[in-house]
Copies of this chain bind each other. A is one copy, B any other.
Amino acid sequence: MSQLAVVGTRMLTGAKPHKPGAVDKIAARRIELAEAALETLAELGYARTSLREIAQNSEFTHGVLHYYFEDKLDLICCCVRHYKARCVTRYDQVTATARSRDQLLSGFLDKLGETLRTEPHMHRLWYDLRSQALFEDAFRDDVREIDESLENMVWRVTSRYAELGGKEIAVSRSALYAVFDGLFQKHLLRHLSGDQDAVSTLQEEVRQLMPMVA
């Protein structure tokens, strides 16, 4: 019997491990494997990703996955949770340092374009996993949590933008996030379809939009 079940229970209940560092080691490997899984998922999509393919993108063999994860769903849930940490602070630097409305907008647009240009695969994975949550209960809580984090992120940026202009945000949190999310998703598809202007078009759309919402 592997120690996983015990460790898993510990992690869920928050009980302390008998041996200090043991959980950390296991957790570290779980994250390592989850990151390899994220790469594979981003490349192939949820529907085409197998455990063997994930293992091949790591430095281990496929058997080890069942040593650290209950099953495939457990692994992918771990991926989703780990994915979150990457995203939610993406624009905080811009928000914190910008000293004018234009500066904030420019910094935001730059970062937005950079994200679309350098990480399209990771973002298409997000949309894929969010769609999976529509079918699979196990994903729903995590996906909702990430969605909320992203909503908060958009709200923070826009709040600062409004503040710098002495204005108030004119739409609801949901609507604000929805419009940014929808625009990003649309131009992500364009970008992946080979549209060279996708990045600049997105930036232009957002540039026109910002003064309307705050």
Give residues in A with beta carbon < 8 Å to B: 44-48, 124, 127-128, 130-136, 140, 143-144, 147, 170-172, 174-175, 177-183, 185-186, 188-189, 192-193, 205, 208-209, 212
Q: Closest CB of chain B to A202's CB: distance in Å?
A: 9
Q: Closest CB of chain B to A191's CB: distance in Å?
A: 10
Q: Which residue of B lies closest to A123 (CB)?
A: B134
Kindly name the residue among A131, A188, A192, A205 whose own CB sees the greatest number of chain B CB atoms within 10 A: A131
Q: Which residue of B lies closest to A201 (CB)?
A: B174
Given contacts A175-B209, A209-B171, contact A44 B131 (CB under 8 A): no
A212 partner, pick from B127, B131, B171, beta carbons under 8 A: B171
A192 partner, pick from B130, B134, B175, beta carbons under 8 A: B134
Q: Which residue of B lies closest to A139 (CB)?
A: B189
Chain B residues lying within 8 Å of A189, measured Cβ to Cβ, are: 130, 133-134, 140, 143-144
Complex Cα spacing A208 to B177, Å? 15
Chain B residues lying within 8 Å of A131, measured Cβ to Cβ, are: 45, 124, 127-128, 130-131
Name 16 A/B residue pairs within 8 A (Cβ), A-sorted: A44-B135, A45-B132, A48-B135, A128-B132, A130-B131, A133-B189, A140-B189, A170-B212, A171-B212, A172-B205, A172-B209, A175-B209, A177-B182, A178-B178, A178-B181, A179-B182
